[in-house]
Amino acid sequence: MSGDMNGIWVFAEQRGGELHEVSLELLGKARELADEAGKKVTAILLGHDIRSLSQLLLNHGADSVLVGDDPRLKTYRLIPYARVMASLVHTYDPEILLMGATYMGVELAPRVAAKVRTGLSAHCIDLRLGEKGQLLQVVPGWGGGVIATIACPDHRPQMATVMPGIMKALSAIEREDTVKEIEIDLPEKGLGPEVLEVKREKPDQLPLEKAEVVVAGGWGIGSQEDWKMIESLAELFGGSVGATRPPVDEGWAEEGQMIGQSGKTVRPKLYIGIGISGVMHHVVGMDQSEHIITINSDPDAEIFDTSDVIVVEDFRKVVPKLIDEIRARLKK
């Protein structure tokens, strides 16, 4: 059995019994690579009362699922998750291990890589197979000036993280295959903090990746007070609010609203970017949007190179008028 499970692994991230979409996206890529290399795809599912998610993983491209179901894995904690993952890697010896570059993945992947003494390419934008079947991991570097292709020839597994939204999930096909339960062997002590209660804040906007309209603001917005204009505009469009890094650092927006290399990748029907310069770190997360409108007071702003419609103006002169106009039309 383990012979079938030493091909391409995808860490199937779930929280509270909900599978993160990046897991299905990674399965889509893993399936493509596995078919090319003649290997099998295995999804690794850890948590508690999560067995039912296995079918979804099989339907989206996994040949088999290794399920670690244990109350101690109910809520994600770095130490037990990393121990279990490292022990599975030692037992099954996979060729490739892929994880989402999510809050969980960016913490867990390096810990697992260090434990099993292999390399890790973080925030890959593409994955391919080389001539000898090794994984070629494509990563933007040096502020986007260089696209580096990284290989890990001497150590296994070859590990990579990929941000949500970059790979495409396969359409679901009803499939029956192997689901194998693994035994969780963890010590009683030394597992880090015990989680007593998990409170999830109800999101008051559609997840950015699902929104058809994204209104994103940048450092040019200048204040928390003016940030409300971005929120009002997004609300009028029935869309979601995105941000560059500076508004997140300032606390105008939340971490989960950041778009770009270290944030989310969005592909809405309409992206409106306001007070954003267009640095590559942000652009890689939005340049696949169907229509892009940007407002910037600097006529040479880089973001204009990626835009379909540009408005060279102080946003304070444009956005309030736009809001009034939309409100007026909605009333008609």
Ligand X SMILES: Cc1cc2nc3c(=O)[nH]c(=O)nc-3n(C[C@H](O)[C@H](O)[C@H](O)COP(=O)(O)OP(=O)(O)OC[C@H]3O[C@@H](n4cnc5c(N)ncnc54)[C@H](O)[C@@H]3O)c2cc1C
Known binding-site residues for FAD equal 244-245, 275-282, 296
Q: In angstroms, what is the minimal distance from the CB of 167 to ligand X?
A: 17
Part of the chain binding ligand X (CB under 6 A), chosen from 19-27, 91-99, 133-141, 241-249? 241-249
By the rule CB under 6 A, 262 interacts with ligand X: yes
What 3-state class would DSSP assign to 136?
strand
Q: Which stretches does DSSP call E strand in the chain? A: 8-12, 14-15, 18-19, 41-47, 64-69, 96-100, 120-124, 126-129, 135-141, 146-150, 158-162, 178-181, 213-217, 240-243, 270-274, 291-296, 309-312
By CB under 6 A, the count of residues binding ligand X is 27
Q: Which is nearer to ligand X, 68 or 218 (CB)?
A: 218
By the rule CB under 6 A, 257 interacts with ligand X: no
Alpha carbon distance 291, 287 (integer Å): 9
**Would you state the torsion angle of the CA atoms of residues 130, 134, 139, 142, taken in this order, to the nearest 10 degrees?**
-90
What 3-state class would DSSP assign to 325?
helix
Give the x/- contact pattern for ligand X in 174-213, rule: CB under 6 A: ----------------------------------------
CA atoms within 13 A on the CB side of 111: 16
> Between vectors from CA 121 to CA 130 and to CA 286, what angle results, nearest 5°?
100
By the rule CB under 6 A, 295 interacts with ligand X: yes
By the rule CB under 6 A, 218 interacts with ligand X: yes
Under 8 Å between Cβ of 320 and 313 = no
What DSSP letter does each residue of 44-58 carry, written as one string?
Answer: EEEESS-TTHHHHHH
Q: Which is nearer to ligand X, 61 or 263 (CB)?
A: 263
Q: In angstroms, what is the minimal distance from the CB of 279 to ligand X?
A: 4
Candidate residues 244, 257, 265, 294; the one interacting with ligand X per rule CB under 6 A? 244
Part of the chain binding ligand X (CB under 6 A), chosen from 11-19, 33-41, 180-188, 216-224? 216-224
Go through the chain and tell me how many residues it has: 332
Give the x/- contact pattern for ligand X in 303-322, rule: CB under 6 A: -----------xxx------
Footprint on this chain of ligand X (rule: CB under 6 A) = 218-220, 244-246, 258-263, 275-277, 279, 281-282, 285, 295-298, 301, 314-316
